Structure 1
Amino acid sequence: MSDLIWLSEAQMRRIEPYFPLSHGVPRVDDRRIISGIIFVIMNGLRWRDAPFEYGPPKTIYNRFIRWSRLGVFNKIFAGLAAKGGKPDQLMIDATHLKALRTAASLLKKGPVSRRIGRTKGGLNSKLHAVCDGNGRPLIMLLSEGQMSDYKGAVLMIDALPKAKALLGDRGYDADWFWAALADRKIPACIPSKVNRKVPIQHDPALYRQRHKIEIMSAICIAATVIFWLNQ
């Protein structure tokens, strides 16, 4: 297939420091397996439909599961994003991710939450994200679909890097959030909620730039490739 995805040697050198050490038998070719994982996820395929050029689908799947549980992909994303330099702007938003009806069985399985909840729209998860001024993701948090934007912000506030401004919609207009940003010396551009007695002024022209985060809906692995490896 001519449209296969292959990480370059230079890209591999950037992410290899985050790989776990191999114990005993050497691992199957990292470049082939990681490229296969990326291809499957970015094309929305079933693991068994991975092109044969990437090797046995079971090997690809097992690597994805094992490294996901070890937090390897999250470490790669966080490590590369941290090297992007100090952002001038931050943008915060959240979006729902629809879950298949068959995911209902995941709600009760295992000791760890599967981050799937139930709202009026059915089964879904919610992706909370913070991007820089170019729309490149810096922080991503997956939660149950019923978690409010407000609670998601609580979980991400301590990880916010310093910036000249943060843009968010009125769902983030809360006194605690304004205070938390002020403590970090990050000016906010957030429209006031309709029920706020004394509206807080914001810059409409600056706020219009927030569309960049609204179109960002990648997950950790895809975002790593799109925004931090292809530079």
Structure 2
Amino acid sequence: MGRSRGGLNTKIHALVDAEGRPIHLLLTAGQAGDAPAGRELLAHLQQGGILLADKAYDTDAIRTEAAERGVFANVPPRAIRKRTFAFGPRLYRQRNQIERFFKPHQADAGPRHAL
């Protein structure tokens, strides 16, 4: 559990397959960055797969490791990026599988803001 402005919290990082089934789950402290967790999740992605992740996972380390594993990283570039990478917005729409994975669990999470 980590501490942030909102109090104690935890992040759940998930790797899911094309049908939205979980392959690997990882818990980190709320204040921890997303990229280190992303690198750990990459170890569980099959070679030749496609990584669909949000901008928080747009790092050189993740892109390099993905390429070394034969994985195509379709991650939207952060605004501060000087170098551009191949990015397919139509392919990226399939990232909603991860959102659909989390949606049923959000109702059980309780209050999301400190009172």
CA drift of 1:176 comes to 1.0
Bigger relative CO (Cα 8 Å, ≥ 6 apart):
2
For residues 70 and 37 of structure 2, the distance between their equivalents in structure 1, rounded to whole angstroms, comes to: 20
Q: Which has the larger radius of gyration?
A: 1
Letter aligned with residue 187 of structure 1: F
CA RMSD of aligned residues (A): 1.7
Residue identity (%): 38
Match of 1:170 in 2: 55
Alignment partner of 1:154: what SS?
A: helix
Whole-angstrom distance in 2 between the partners of 1:182 and 1:154: 12
CA distance in 1, matches of 2:94, 2:78: 19
Partner Cα separation in structure 1 for residue 92 and residue 48 of structure 2: 15
Count the aligned residue pairs: 104
Q: Structure 2 residue aligned with 1:215, among 77, 96, 100?
A: 100
Deviation at 1:148, TM superposition (A): 1.1
Residue 132 of structure 1 is matched in structure 2 by: 17
How far does residue 120 in structure 1 lie from its aligned partner after superposition?
Answer: 1.7
Q: Alpha-carbon deviation of 1:161? A: 2.2
Q: Which segment drifts farther, 166-175 or 156-165? A: 156-165
Equivalent positions of 1:6-21 (< 5 A) are none
Which is strand-richer, 1 or 2?
Answer: 2
Normalised TM-score (structure 2): 0.81
Task: Return 5+ residue gaps in structure 2 as ranges.
Answer: 106-115
Residue ranges of structure 1 left out of the alignment (5+ in a row): 1-115, 220-231
Partner of 2:41: 156
Contact 2:66/2:73 (CA < 8 Å) preserved in 1?
yes
Matched residue of 1:212: which SS? helix
Specify which structure has the higher proportion of helix: 1
1:188 aligns with 2:62: no
